[in-house]
Amino acid sequence: MTQNYKVADIGLAEQGKMKIEWAEARMPVLMALREQMRQTQPLAGQRIAGCLHVTKETAVLIRTLVAAGADVSWSGCNPLSTNDEIAAALAADGVKIYAWHGLNRDDYYWCIDKTLEFQPTLTLDDGADLITRVHTTHQHLIPTIVGGTEETTTGVHRLRSMAAAGKLKYPVLAINDAETKWDFDNVYGTGQSTLDGILRATSVLLAGKNMVVAGYGHCGKGVAMRAKGMGAHVATTEVKPTAALKATLEGVHVFTMDQAARWGDVFVTATGVKDIIVGRHFDVMRDGAIVCNTGHYDCEINIGDLQARAKSKRTIRDNCDEYVMQDGRRIYLLGDGRLVNLACAEGHPSEVMDMSFANQFLGMVLMASQGRSLQPGVFDVPAEMDQRLAGTKLETMGISIDQLTPEQVTYASSYLEGT
């Protein structure tokens, strides 16, 4: 029998199982859906190829997809984000999984291609690498695919460009754009886990430090908010006037990166755009500057420019490389410029992934039943699904909210009511 997994060390499975249990205890919405849909089996007969960070939270999602009847084949969506213990636990459970921490680019695509071997009917992406692979090297699979989902901002951007160019060949749900995803995961998830990654890799005191957060979108805002809470002086860099204005009114300095490069002690990129920190910025940074990225891809910091300026490099701590410049200044790069929260810590906390992955799960169920009737394109998560999910999350937290009376409903919808 051929082995239907490739992981770093299957011997790590027991450790991984305990971590998954830890996450399950903190993901009540997804767990309730699992029990509900174990009965109804809405994913029976579906083959789901997934490409998403192999974390304890993702394992909870995978177990839920399997409980609902799906056959699943999985790869990671970033070379440094796979937790080897989790991958081992999933493999031991019989999940087809091809993922290990620290794989190279060729292995990365080998893993994705392995997940496509069972001819999926649904694709689940984070960053759109899987769906891009289907549309470039595996187009023969398109006729049997009914739909897909996409987890993150960068992936949704890619898919919208693909759709605008007429190149997207099946319907995809933009999970990222659900309110119960971006307004929580992107802000509070990124905020906490990014600082978690920086602290695990450096253990520096953030109080009193100058922290530069490139990009004041949902992710940047979350990082800035939490860094402020730790006592850092926070600045952001922006290209969008309204975002820069919001930052200013929220008490965050706004600088150009040329200005910020001289000012910062710690730099985090959260823009989704390449070349945010380049050679001329490294040239003026302070001795000891710490640089990292929390955007989906590792292109925001130009590492080639950093390497070209360095006379030496050593790994001084786990996930922390020290580059010594020609003039003796030291610059520290965390997690090879890849998502610092996943490369140097455990990604977003389970409590927030509960909502993101409940959306993913319901998105798969929706696509399984309705994908065939949709045209190719990028679709929003239905608004009522979003509100229902938020309501369930509140219930699990023991929080009750009010309901409008019929009179209030009439008032709210009347244009005749005034002074």
Question: Contact between 348 and ligand RBV (CB under 6 A)?
Answer: yes
Cα–Cα distances (Å) from 64 to 38, 188, 240, in that order, read 8, 24, 39
Closer residue to ligand RBV (CB): 27 or 37: 27
Exposed/middle/buried for residue 50 (C-beta within 10 Å: 0-12, 13-18, 19+): buried
Which string of x and - marks every residue 269-308 that binds ligand RBV (by CB under 6 A)? ---------------------------x------------
CB 169 within 8 A of CB 374: no
Contact window for ligand RBV (CB under 6 A) among 52-60, 62-70, 111-119, 317-325: 52-60
Which residues inside 172-231 make contact with ligand RBV, applying CB under 6 A? 185
The Cβ of residue 397 has, within 10 Å, a number of other Cβ atoms equal to 10
Question: Contact between 371 and ligand RBV (CB under 6 A)?
Answer: no
CA distance 354 to 60: 9
Closer residue to ligand RBV (CB): 221 or 348: 348
Closer residue to ligand RBV (CB): 123 or 152: 152
Cα–Cα distances (Å) from 188 to 183, 221, 353, 379, 403, in that order, read 8, 9, 11, 25, 27
Place of tokens 């953030």: 206
Which residues inside 164-183 make contact with ligand RBV, applying CB under 6 A? none
**Size, binding site for ligand RBV by CB under 6 A:** 15
The Cβ of residue 84 has, within 10 Å, a number of other Cβ atoms equal to 19
Question: Min. distance of Cβ 152 from ligand RBV in angstroms?
Answer: 3
Question: Min. distance of Cβ 20 from ligand RBV in angstroms?
Answer: 12
- Residue 43: which of 4, 5, 69, 12 has the closest Cα? 69
CA distance 254 to 205: 23
Question: Min. distance of Cβ 90 from ligand RBV in angstroms?
Answer: 13
Question: Contact between 347 and ligand RBV (CB under 6 A)?
Answer: yes
Contact window for ligand RBV (CB under 6 A) among 117-125, 221-229, 257-265, 348-356: 348-356
Contact window for ligand RBV (CB under 6 A) among 33-41, 53-61, 267-275, 315-323: 53-61
CA distance 132 to 16: 30
Which residues inside 97-136 make contact with ligand RBV, applying CB under 6 A? 126-127
CA distance 323 to 306: 8
Question: Contact between 356 and ligand RBV (CB under 6 A)?
Answer: yes
Contact window for ligand RBV (CB under 6 A) among 29-37, 42-50, 55-63, 363-371: 55-63
Closer residue to ligand RBV (CB): 112 or 353: 353
Question: Min. distance of Cβ 309 from ligand RBV in angstroms?
Answer: 29
The H or E element that residue 213 is part of is: strand 210-214
Contact window for ligand RBV (CB under 6 A) among 7-15, 51-59, 225-233, 261-269: 51-59
Question: Contact between 338 and ligand RBV (CB under 6 A)?
Answer: no
Closer residue to ligand RBV (CB): 141 or 198: 198
Question: Contact between 24 and ligand RBV (CB under 6 A)?
Answer: no
Instruction: Give the one residue of 152, 202, 210, 236 binding ligand RBV; rule: CB under 6 A.
Output: 152
Question: Contact between 151 and ligand RBV (CB under 6 A)?
Answer: yes
Exposed/middle/buried for residue 74 (C-beta within 10 Å: 0-12, 13-18, 19+): buried
DSSP-derived secondary structure for 280-339: HHHHHPPTTEEEEE-SSSTTSB-HHHHHHHEEEEEEEETTEEEEEETTS-EEEEEGGGS-
Which amino acid would we find at residue 367?
A: M
Closer residue to ligand RBV (CB): 146 or 355: 355
Exposed/middle/buried for residue 119 (C-beta within 10 Å: 0-12, 13-18, 19+): middle
Place of tokens 């945010």: 276
- What residues make contact with ligand RBV under the rule CB under 6 A? 53, 55, 57-58, 126-127, 151-152, 185, 296, 342, 347-348, 353, 356
